[in-house]
Amino acid sequence: MGSQVDDPTLDFDSVEFLRRWLWLAGSAPLRREILAFLRNEARLQASTLDKEKPWEPARKWVPIAEGLADTAIKHGLPAHEGAAIRRVAELTEMNGELLLMALLDACGRATYPSHLRSAPESGGGWKPGPIRVPALEADSDALARFLARHIHNSPRGWMVGQRFSAMMPMLSHLGCFRGSLFVPRT
């Protein structure tokens, strides 16, 4: 993303980013090692930029990741462009979607560390629901459809259940999280 962190109008638009994202991430499924790598890199980059308050520089990344997720949910990923085989395009899109949500997860974890939940705002504290993806808010079934597509294709326990606990409070304002499918760890 480079300079887009400071000025989202630079470089290229979200659709071009998603094209490049597919080229980078669409060929392989999400594995635990990749998820851990994304999370660790986000934390490392944030702490390199500000050792005292690493969440502050990371909070610039979340709106960018939210916008990318929103564009992908609303318009889909451009996996069909140049694809000769429909099934390959579907797998590429599925991998890209899942890795895009992993990117949002990594940015969210670096930005909103669980130990600061409900802490004073002056000390980096946050309340449940700081990550907002308009396409998920506008369509309460969008996340359910996403989960239905990916629940069996992702590392076990990543998106639902106790291992998803850090993202749960971040997205808890969404109506679809009020069901019994999700079990947040408190």
Residue of 46, 183, 16 lying closest to 108 (CA atoms) = 46
Q: For residues 158 and 35, is the Cβ–Cβ distance under 8 A? A: yes
Q: For residues 77 and 28, is the Cβ–Cβ distance under 8 A? A: no
**Span 44-101, pLDDT tens digits:** 999 999 999 999 999 999 888 888 888 888 888 888 887 788 888 888 888 888 888 8
Residue 186 falls inside a structural domain: no
Whole-angstrom Cα distance, residue 54 to residue 176?
Answer: 30
In this prediction, residue 158 carries a pLDDT of: 55
In this prediction, residue 176 carries a pLDDT of: 37
Q: For residues 76 and 93, is the Cβ–Cβ distance under 8 A? A: yes
In this prediction, residue 3 carries a pLDDT of: 55
Residue 57 falls inside a structural domain: yes
Residue 3 falls inside a structural domain: no
In this prediction, residue 147 carries a pLDDT of: 73
**Span 146-181, pLDDT tens digits:** 777 776 666 655 554 434 444 544 454 443 333 323
How many domains, the chain? Answer: 1
In this prediction, residue 28 carries a pLDDT of: 85
Residue 173 falls inside a structural domain: yes
- For residues 8-29, give the mean pLDDT: 80
**Which two structure tokens, joined as six digits, stand for 78?**
């451009």
Whole-angstrom Cα distance, residue 89 to residue 91?
Answer: 6
Res 185 pLDDT > 50: no
Helix, strand, coil distribution of the chain in percent, nearest 5: 60, 0, 40
Where in the sequence is the domain holding 150, given as residue range(s)? 8-178
Whole-angstrom Cα distance, residue 68 to residue 84?
Answer: 25
In this prediction, residue 175 carries a pLDDT of: 38
Residue 132 falls inside a structural domain: yes
Residue 1 falls inside a structural domain: no
Residue 141 falls inside a structural domain: yes
In this prediction, residue 186 carries a pLDDT of: 37
Whole-angstrom Cα distance, residue 127 to residue 38?
Answer: 24
In this prediction, residue 7 carries a pLDDT of: 63
Q: Kindly report the pTM of this predicted structure.
A: 0.74
- For residues 129-148, give the mean pLDDT: 79
Whole-angstrom Cα distance, residue 148 to residue 144?
Answer: 6
Residue 183 falls inside a structural domain: no
In this prediction, residue 152 carries a pLDDT of: 63
